[in-house]
Amino acid sequence: MNNCMNYESVLDFYKEKSVLVTGNTGFKGSWLTMLLLHAGAKVTGYSLHAPTQPALFQECGLEADGRFEQIYADVRDLDALKQALNTAKPEIVFHLAAQPIVRDSYKDPVNTYATNVMGTVNLCEAVRTALDENGAPVVRSFLNVTTDKVYRNNEWSWGYRETDVLDGFDPYSNSKSCSELVTHSYRNAFFDSMKDSAGEPFIRVSTARAGNVIGGGDFSNDRIIPDCVRAIMSACENTESGGRIAVRNPYSTRPFEHVLEPLFAYLLIAKAQYEDSRYQDYYNVGPDDQDCVNTGDLVSLFCDTWNRKADPVISWENRAEADAPHEAGFLKLDCSKLKQTFGWKPAWHISEAIEQTVSWTRVWMEARSMPERERAKAIWDEMEKEIRLFLREDGYLGDRVS
């Protein structure tokens, strides 16, 4: 699938821009941090330590990378957030920090709401009160990353639009619905009235509601691609369950997309509203209808792709749980607004997304026995390769700065 977007100009925009990313030690946050570093941005990360073991943030060498400032702190800590913004003085803020797992939200709803709702309140407040020496706002562009699950799920066969009701069912989904409402309230009550010299809102605010993100480097619990990777690891260790992937909801349809799809959309939205306040809005980011597949088909595609290229052989089995917590059975996004506003469209079909995910996994498996620096370089090089393929611009990204 050809991508009509000029993402080279999007990356060029971030050169020398001061950018703060919350949740940058997570899966998506690590990929975003890498993209911003390549673009030449002055990056500050604000996050807890990497949430999984292993973690992409460590495996690709970001943890030891001295090209950006890393603040290890919690979004539930308002004072720490305020201090971070007052020190970094970011022009652009990406909010990715979250408790992101549906099933974990059933186990610990209080922490889920505290992180996803009050974390958003705290960041909005820190953005609102971060001022320069002249008393003007520091932040120009603020993007809150939420989820496709913010909508009241009616099990419709068509995609949800940005105007549909926000009312997630489970604590995770609902907390993200609340995060959206918090952002809307801060925009209406505060940000839109903080004007620049042209009479436009100085702080421009959008939210992005992305589909189910897949790609190399996700090691989260209760996610299907990491479950595939864990099955490969078990098979390599010759454990009894090795090579078999337990799929809880094989018939659930989701808007799966490669991690680079939403990340470049986030960069695009934040750039556009920075330059023109008319672009601040609420955007869905997901695949086209033909690439919304059920979980069983996704795992079959992963297994087939892996088995053509590498050992050990893997397969999956239906492990539906009778008393499992509620999860939506059918979920799609209507991304017409993003397409009509920016001329955006997905770059990769689901088969290409799986191809790159398998490629990353093979490199990581082969690099596990390498010394730390060599392993990080091999993984970083694989990520660079995937970005070049995504951009269709071989040679655009320069060599990694050691």
How high is the pLDDT of residue 100? 96
- What is the rounded distance in angstroms from the CA atom of residue 286 to the CA atom of residue 266? 12
Q: Helix 350-367 vs helix 224-236: angle between axes, to the nearest 10 degrees? A: 40
Average pLDDT, the chain: 93
Tens digits of per-residue pLDDT, 235-284?
888 766 668 899 989 999 999 999 999 999 999 999 999 999 999 999 99
Q: Which two tokens stand for residue 63?
A: 């943890």
How high is the pLDDT of residue 322? 67
Mean per-residue pLDDT, 287-313: 94
- What is the rounded distance in angstroms from the CA atom of residue 346 to the CA atom of residue 1? 8
pLDDT at 400 > cutoff 60: no
CB 34 within 8 A of CB 383: yes
CA 117 to chain centre: 17
Q: Helix 295-309 vs helix 350-367: angle between axes, to the nearest 10 degrees? A: 50
Tens digits of per-residue pLDDT, 142-165?
999 999 999 999 999 899 999 999
How high is the pLDDT of residue 4? 53
How high is the pLDDT of residue 240? 62
Specify the pairing of strand 253-254 against strand 293-294. Answer: antiparallel
Q: Which two tokens stand for residue 205?
A: 């605010």
- What is the rounded distance in angstroms from the CA atom of residue 112 to the CA atom of residue 75? 12
Q: How many residues does the chain have?
A: 402
Tens digits of per-residue pLDDT, 184-236?
999 999 999 999 999 999 999 999 999 999 999 999 999 999 999 999 998 88
The percent of residues above 90 in pLDDT, for the chain, comes to: 88
pLDDT at 70 > cutoff 80: yes
* φ/ψ of residue 243, rounded to 5: 85, -10
- What is the rounded distance in angstroms from the CA atom of residue 323 to the CA atom of residue 307? 33
CATH superfamily of 7-391: NAD(P)-binding Rossmann-like Domain (3.40.50.720)
Confidence of residue 329 (pLDDT cuts 50, 70, 90): confident
pLDDT at 309 > cutoff 90: no
pLDDT at 398 > cutoff 60: no
How high is the pLDDT of residue 317? 93
The answer, yes or no, to whether the previous bond of 312 is cis (omega within 30 of 0) is: yes
pLDDT at 2 > cutoff 90: no
Mean per-residue pLDDT, 3-17: 88
Tens digits of per-residue pLDDT, 75-124?
999 999 999 999 999 999 999 999 999 999 999 999 999 999 999 999 99
- What is the rounded distance in angstroms from the CA atom of residue 170 to the CA atom of residue 101? 10
Assign 3-class secondary structure to 80-101. HHHHHHHHHCCCEEEECCCCCC
pLDDT at 402 > cutoff 70: no
Place of tokens 């590498």: 310
Domain ranges of the chain: 7-391
Place of tokens 């997901």: 286
CB 339 within 8 A of CB 260: no
How high is the pLDDT of residue 241? 60
Specify the pairing of strand 18-22 against strand 253-254. Answer: unpaired
Left (φ > 0), alpha (ψ -120 to 50) or beta: where does 16 sit?
left
